[in-house]
Chain A
Amino acid sequence: MPSGEEILGGEVQRIGGRTAESSRIVHRDRKGESVRRIAVSSYKEAFTEVMKTLASESGPSPDIFAHRLVQGGMEFRSNTIIRDDDFESLEMIKGLAPIHNPPVVEIIEECRRAYPEIPQAVVLDTAFHSTIPSYAYTYPIPSDVVEELGIRKYGFHGISHQYVTGETAEYLHIPLGELNVVSCHLGSGGASLCAVVGGKSVDNTMGFSPLQGLVMSTRCGDLDPALILKLIAYSGGDYSRVNDLLNKKSGVLGLSGLSSDIRDIISRATKTDDERSQMTLDVYLWRVRKYLGAYLTVVGSPHAIIFTDTIGESVPYVREAVCRNLDFFGVRLDEWKNRKISNYPADISAKDSRVRIIVVKTNEELAIAKNAYELFVSAERRSSELEKGGCLDEQVNCLNS
């Protein structure tokens, strides 16, 4: 992609439901940030308001809309330009990620209505993980159920893992196709580790859903299947209560009883002698260490461990604790470098560390833009080939429509 520079950016906050504060648009341009308070009750409306804001900036109009799709199921397995007959599939995948997918579909539909001439792309959080081998994505349960319900490991945070892996390859001057890393996406909400061999994802701690794996802000991560069945039985078959418990009341929040943000817990655990906070922190870090050990073993000869997203980028304590006592793998962190990061990407490994430890600022928006650009360019190329008399490609239809 040409420059990869952000021209304008921003976000709409507090959409919909009545909260203490009204909804607002935070708008960023080269001069800085401005906030416009405005009531928006739906994602569709939020999109309309954003487009109004952009029009008033008299900047260039978009060539393509790119949407992030957290879970594309069996219908959307790779990044794609949306065709007319994809809209039915979009309806069907709403339920796969009930919090994330419906707003995306709503906005895609509004884009088509208001700007029928502008093509749209979906960039998938699961696409990077399509290279996970079958022994790692298969759940050993009866195959009729697996096939009927599309049960497999999809993996998540793929856009971020892919982006930071690419940045690291560039930073270390190693061709992407040769790079082996363990990427730690530690967010303030969700978190996952990704094993990368030859620039491709070979495993991710999240699974069929974003519930599996690490201890997250309110999600439980790994849990004994029998314990879940017991919880369902003990709650009198109240499936939604258990669902709510595992998704919204577990993780750091459930353990600590205080906060869902591990940063609050770190500050309490290190500044007071609150045992529950200490325990919460220990469980959180222990789980990361287990998966880091597992993935360093799977990757075999890693070039680097990557830390990214809110916690991974900004909490030196976590990086230090996770990398402690990993001499076996040739991992040594430089404490001073770890605490004094001024530029990203930053190499915080000690001189004699065989494995580099790189802190990368993730940029999912840029990664989505890059992916959409590639789709756009290849579709354009195919379109011009078509004009020269090449074969018909359905993908081109919406570009020409």
Chain B
Amino acid sequence: MSRLIVLIPEGYFIEYFVYSVARDDEVTDRYHGPTGEMCKVEWTGKIRFRGEGLTSEELRKLIGRYSPEAIAVRLLYGGEEFKKTQVYDRAVLERLKSLAAQSPLHIPTAVRLLKILERIVPTPEILLFFETAFFANLPLSERTYAIDGNLPDSYGEGLGDVRRFGYHGIFHGALARKIRQKGIEARRVLSICLEPIPEVAGIYDGKPVTVSSGSTPMEGLPGNTTCGEIDPGIILLLEEKKKWGPETINEMLSRKSGLTALAGKNVTIADVVLREGEFGRARDLLEYRLLLSCGAAIGVMGGFDTVAFSGRYVAVADRLAERIVPKLARGAAEPSLPSLFFMQESLDRLMAESYCRSKLQAEIIH
């Protein structure tokens, strides 16, 4: 038995998950074995950042205790630079650094983490999973904003690629693969990811053609505390009337808005869906916005065959599906209920499974 550590950096902490994975010589058998389970989670926890941010001490302990053969790191943003899972090396680090201005909150933390890991563990393989990778090749008409094409030049280099991405690519990508693997007849999938910032993607023949998020996860659907799509005029108004700067507005739109603003207290999607009497206003708005996003995806895909749910709030997806799916189907000329698919796996498990599969594929190639 060997081990894999999955690291998911969040705002001020890193979540870690220790997985036992099949050894190289076991992997083929286990993959086809009766349980089908390639990996098993043994231990999880959080490393909180102290005053000076991330330090190496706790990571060193963690890695010392479990001596993993590989470490999988979740990165939120990979821009156009990273279109698939990447094995870490020095050149990759340099490419990552070049994205810092495009994702100033995440990339610097990630770079710091990777430099620490590199110092602690020169031998195990470090794998980088990018949430944006699945969406790197979105169709041009979906990813392009209707603003000045020469914008980055006139506003300075740091602006980077101004285009739309999706930010839950690990979920959507795994879901597309699982649907195909199970032989479900579905060319057109409405993929609804229920995370703190939810996201709808339209997946056609396994590839995303539309997604609710934008150049950052702020655009699109409202989340637990994020506003989602709002009229650009509102931002200009806040600047003009309240004399607020970009940071103040950003703070309000990302931490004090969304379902929490509607409910008047801190809530999650799960609260809103389950306690409808209490949070009716928030639930109605969430459902309506999901309906619009799904409808838009149906519009560009010319219909849909399956509605699929994933994410940490997938447990409430059946309640949501009951209310939304009939409305999605009613626009159809020949109404028929689409098939439903619920993917229960957590983000860390999807990453661990992906690691095991890549090992298996390497075995086959050998």
Selected contact of B147 from candidates A250, A276, A301, CB within 8 Å: A250
B-side contacts of A200, CB under 8 Å? none
Expressed in whole angstroms, the minimum distance between the Cβ of B303 and any Cβ of chain A is 3
- Report if A254 contacts B (CB, 8 A): yes
Q: By the criterion CB–CB under 8 Å, are B241 and A291 in contact? A: no
A-side contacts of B150, CB under 8 Å? 257
Considering the chains assembled together, what is the distance between the CA atoms of A225 and B252 in angstroms? Answer: 12
Interface residues of B in 263-293 (CB under 8 A from A): 264, 281-282, 284-285, 287-288, 291-293
A-side contacts of B228, CB under 8 Å? 140
- Report if B218 contacts A (CB, 8 A): yes
- Report if A295 contacts B (CB, 8 A): yes
Expressed in whole angstroms, the minimum distance between the Cβ of B353 and any Cβ of chain A is 31
A-B contact count (CB 8 A): 252
- Report if B237 contacts A (CB, 8 A): yes
Residue of chain B at shortest CB distance from A231: B155
Considering the chains assembled together, what is the distance between the CA atoms of A224 and B282 in angstroms? Answer: 21
- Report if B159 contacts A (CB, 8 A): yes
Contact A245 B147, CB 8 Å, known A138-B285, A227-B215, A239-B240 = yes
Considering the chains assembled together, what is the distance between the CA atoms of A287 and B142 in angstroms? Answer: 8
Q: By the criterion CB–CB under 8 Å, are B235 and A287 in contact? A: no
Considering the chains assembled together, what is the distance between the CA atoms of A249 and B151 in angstroms? Answer: 10
A-side contacts of B258, CB under 8 Å? 140
- Report if A124 contacts B (CB, 8 A): no
> How big is the A interface, by class?
35 or more
Interface residues of A in 297-331 (CB under 8 A from B): 297-302, 325-330
- Report if B27 contacts A (CB, 8 A): no
Residue of chain A at shortest CB distance from B222: A140
Q: By the criterion CB–CB under 8 Å, are B238 and A286 in contact? A: no
- Report if A131 contacts B (CB, 8 A): no
Considering the chains assembled together, what is the distance between the CA atoms of A100 and B327 in angstroms? Answer: 38
Which stretch from B79-87, B172-180, B243-251 is at the chain A interface?
Answer: B243-251
Considering the chains assembled together, what is the distance between the CA atoms of A319 and B140 in angstroms? Answer: 21
Q: By the criterion CB–CB under 8 Å, are B140 and A234 in contact? A: no
Q: By the criterion CB–CB under 8 Å, are B257 and A255 in contact? A: no
> How big is the B interface, by class?
35 or more
Expressed in whole angstroms, the minimum distance between the Cβ of A17 and any Cβ of chain B is 24
B-side contacts of A84, CB under 8 Å? none
Q: By the criterion CB–CB under 8 Å, are B241 and A142 in contact? A: no
Provide the A89-109 mask, 1 if CB < 8 A to any CB of B, else 0. 000000000000000000000
Interface residues of A in 351-392 (CB under 8 A from B): 354
B-side interface mostly: helix
Q: By the criterion CB–CB under 8 Å, are B214 and A224 in contact? A: yes
Selected contact of B235 from candidates A221, A225, A329, CB within 8 Å: A225
Interface residues of B in 189-224 (CB under 8 A from A): 210, 214-216, 218-219, 222
Q: By the criterion CB–CB under 8 Å, are A294 and B299 in contact? A: yes
Which stretch from B53-61, B63-71, B329-337 is at the chain A interface?
Answer: B329-337
- Report if A153 contacts B (CB, 8 A): yes
Q: By the criterion CB–CB under 8 Å, are A227 and B214 in contact? A: yes
- Report if B297 contacts A (CB, 8 A): yes
Interface residues of B in 124-171 (CB under 8 A from A): 139-142, 144-151, 155-156, 158-159, 162, 164
B-side contacts of A143, CB under 8 Å? 261, 264
Q: By the criterion CB–CB under 8 Å, are B232 and A223 in contact? A: yes
Q: By the criterion CB–CB under 8 Å, are A139 and B234 in contact? A: yes
Selected contact of B331 from candidates A221, A222, A283, A329, CB within 8 Å: A329
Expressed in whole angstroms, the minimum distance between the Cβ of A208 and any Cβ of chain B is 4
Selected contact of A234 from candidates B156, B164, B295, B331, CB within 8 Å: B156
Residue of chain A at shortest CB distance from B156: A234
- Report if A111 contacts B (CB, 8 A): no
Considering the chains assembled together, what is the distance between the CA atoms of A207 and B227 in angstroms? Answer: 15
Residue of chain A at shortest CB distance from B233: A209
Q: By the criterion CB–CB under 8 Å, are A220 and B246 in contact? A: no
Q: By the criterion CB–CB under 8 Å, are B140 and A293 in contact? A: no
Residue of chain B at shortest CB distance from A219: B146
Expressed in whole angstroms, the minimum distance between the Cβ of A74 and any Cβ of chain B is 14
Considering the chains assembled together, what is the distance between the CA atoms of A102 and B155 in angstroms? Answer: 32
Considering the chains assembled together, what is the distance between the CA atoms of A21 and B319 in angstroms? Answer: 64
Residue of chain B at shortest CB distance from A243: B236
Contact A140 B302, CB 8 Å, known A211-B231, A354-B333 = no
Residue of chain B at shortest CB distance from A223: B232
Considering the chains assembled together, what is the distance between the CA atoms of A284 and B141 in angstroms? Answer: 8
Expressed in whole angstroms, the minimum distance between the Cβ of A236 and any Cβ of chain B is 10
Q: By the criterion CB–CB under 8 Å, are B332 and A140 in contact? A: no
Considering the chains assembled together, what is the distance between the CA atoms of A156 and B238 in angstroms? Answer: 21
Residue of chain B at shortest CB distance from A287: B146
- Report if B39 contacts A (CB, 8 A): no
Q: By the criterion CB–CB under 8 Å, are B227 and A295 in contact? A: no
- Report if B298 contacts A (CB, 8 A): yes
Provide the B299-317 mask, 1 if CB < 8 A to any CB of A, else 0. 1101110000000000000
- Report if B351 contacts A (CB, 8 A): no
Considering the chains assembled together, what is the distance between the CA atoms of A215 and B216 in angstroms? Answer: 20
- Report if A20 contacts B (CB, 8 A): no
Interface residues of A in 212-271 (CB under 8 A from B): 212, 215-216, 220-235, 237, 239, 242-243, 245-246, 249-252, 254-255, 257
Selected contact of B216 from candidates A151, A224, A289, A299, CB within 8 Å: A224
- Report if A134 contacts B (CB, 8 A): yes
Contact A139 B148, CB 8 Å, known A239-B240, A295-B295 = no
Q: By the criterion CB–CB under 8 Å, are B250 and A249 in contact? A: no
- Report if B320 contacts A (CB, 8 A): no
Q: By the criterion CB–CB under 8 Å, are A140 and B262 in contact? A: yes
Q: By the criterion CB–CB under 8 Å, are A134 and B281 in contact? A: yes
Q: By the criterion CB–CB under 8 Å, are A246 and B232 in contact? A: yes
Selected contact of A297 from candidates B145, B155, B294, B302, CB within 8 Å: B294
A-side contacts of B253, CB under 8 Å? 141, 225-226
16 contacts between A and B (CB under 8 A): A141-B234, A142-B252, A208-B233, A211-B232, A212-B232, A224-B215, A225-B235, A228-B232, A229-B250, A243-B236, A246-B232, A249-B148, A293-B297, A297-B331, A298-B292, A301-B331
In the A-B complex, the 6 residue pairs with the closest CB atoms: A293-B299, A209-B233, A330-B333, A297-B295, A328-B303, A224-B214
Write the residues of chain A forming the contact surface with B, with a CB cutoff of 8 angstroms: 134-136, 138-143, 145, 149, 151, 153, 206-212, 215-216, 220-235, 237, 239, 242-243, 245-246, 249-252, 254-255, 257, 276, 279, 282-287, 289-302, 325-330, 354
**A138-B285, A224-B219, A255-B144 given; 12 more Cβ-contact pairs under 8 Å:** A139-B227, A139-B230, A142-B261, A223-B232, A224-B214, A225-B229, A250-B147, A255-B149, A257-B150, A291-B296, A291-B299, A297-B294
